[in-house]
Structure 1
Amino acid sequence: MKTPVFRRFAKNITISLAALTSLGLAGCSTAQPAAPAAAAPTTAAPPQPAAAKPALVQPVAVKDTGVVATFAGIGEDTRAQVGGAKVAFQVVWTNNTGKRVTNVMPVVSAQGHEGDPCTEIMPMVQVVRGTLERKNQNDWIKTGLSQGTGMDHALNGRAGQFGLNPGESRTVEYRFQPTAGNGTGRLNLEAQAFDGTTADSTFGRLGKSVVQQVQVVDAHRPTAALTGGTSTRSGEKVFTLRGANRTGATMAKAAPTLRMVEKKDSVGGLRPEYVVAQVEDGNGWRELPVRENCGWVEVDTTSLAGPLAAGAQHDHTFRIGTGRARDLDYAAGAVGDRHPSAPVTF
């Protein structure tokens, strides 16, 4: 008799479950899963201290080698009066070479300054007018103030040369005075030691140069200003320049000054033969000579010079023609007894 299909199916299920059990497949067990273990309580981690900042490394000052110059008794606020009292100062020369230097030539000189018209166009030929003296024992020896255009100023220290042992210093006294003809503004004094044994051949330097800036002032100069602005008539520039004496003393010889140059971004260059300069006097327009001076085209105003009493002023009307349209920079002013005013630029 055949077994019913349902019984055979149930029997097979029973056998299969038993087989699975014998194979250890617990994952198929019908038992209830165990309750999960309770999670352990968590505690906040203690705050970590901030990382320490690295210590700042202080820069180590590099000691200058050679024979080093240091200015003393003078500073940027020192005011040197044109034609006034002489300005005294010292330069300390120190031997940092580590060996004896037999012939140290101490050289102090003046570089160009703001008051020189050459500064703007041709700085290599600017000249500082005045005197510089170095003290040798009890005597003051003139050494020449301006560097000029070459290296001749390096020989100014020849008469005062000396020897220095390693680490030894020598203080030298100086005094200087700017004279009439200088403009006002910042002036650079330079100190440098030269090797006396090579001065005639290579101008050997024994150390770096050191520059000290001072202020040049002038209580004796006139003032200058344009009156009424400028105008252009038939291609010619016309303007009136006023010079005044505010010093409280009569100027024996005062005159206007005028120079011009083509702007740096213009094509070509301005030459004296391109310029016609005229001044208005009682008889109309009178032509004035022009010349080249330090890169500028300058109007010769010598014929306009004369006394200018304290508190007085002179007006001069100029007309400048250049033959064709040119873009020019003008610098006008006044001069009294060789003391130039501040320039008026337009």
Structure 2
Amino acid sequence: MQSPIGGPRFWRRLVSRWWQPTTRMQREWEQRAQSDAFGYIGRGYAETDAKFWSSGETDLADHILRDIDLKPSASAVEIGCGVGRLVRPLSQRVAQATGVDIAPGMISRGRELLIDLPNAHLHATDGSLEVLEDKSQDFVFSFVVFQHIPSKQAITRYIQETARVLKPGGVFKFQVDGRERPFWKGADTWLGVWFKSAEIKQILTDAGFSIVDTWGEATQYYWLTTQLNTTATSAALATAHPPVWRDTALHELLERLGKSSGDAISLIKTGRRCLRDYTRQFQQIHRHTTPEEFIEAMFLTILNREVDPAGREFYLRQISEQVSRPYIIDCLLCSAELRALVRV
């Protein structure tokens, strides 16, 4: 017999639903782990082991590290690692790769799968990062995890814990659900909570983070790249690159074209996903070429012409100032787009 609305049992269940989200998440995600660990975290690529692990490599490169530089000596953490789909390729890039998850079944299976990787460490947690020491990590990230958490308090706790474990100046990149929906739809451990942009940014500010970049506001995949505030001057082992359209490089580019209108910048921002997607294959092919070779190939591929002396000087200066290659490509794409838009 169901408890009547307003009765003691009803209120106890309601309090349990809203104020003990971690216990509920652990129970339900453990059930999913036992049912189909690969399927629930494989994003549709779990038909074979090869596709599963290949999807991890692709997602890490395309969604997590495309605007992040990680030194080989860095330490990095994934929140919500599952069986280690992203931790495996991450371990090939950094000195120490750690994954945490609230489902012990996921962690147990992941340890078996990653047993050949001595620098990969998986931990079952209670929704915190207590297994990690203060100021011990250079980079923390989370991918398609926070969108399943039914409690804003739990996500806020993760953000606060991330601030604790990051080294000064460390980078935190994650994704939340930014789609507004009626309150009566509620939230569970599959369809979690959503955030307004101002709300999640305030939580980050309160925790001591500065916003480096955002992407996908008001969508399911609302990305935020942040950096822990610091006055330290030591070289960081993880660096987040702001988008080129907020960089002085774009303004210099506009000056070269004889244009300084903010309208042109807004057009570039509107089309930035197209620009980013275009860079992926080119960047992979030319990641190890010299700056001169990179610039020559970039002009031939994107503009279909030889590089001019002014262009060579401009982009060599950008590279010397540590502007990353993906944003150098963005910059040239902006040039091509602007020439068409303003008919230079």
Band of TM-score, shorter chain = under 0.3
Whichever structure has more strand as a proportion of its residues is: 1
Tell which has more relative contact order, 1 or 2 (C-alpha 8 A, sep 6+): 1
Q: TM-score normalized by structure 1?
A: 0.24
Q: TM-score, normalised by structure 2?
A: 0.24
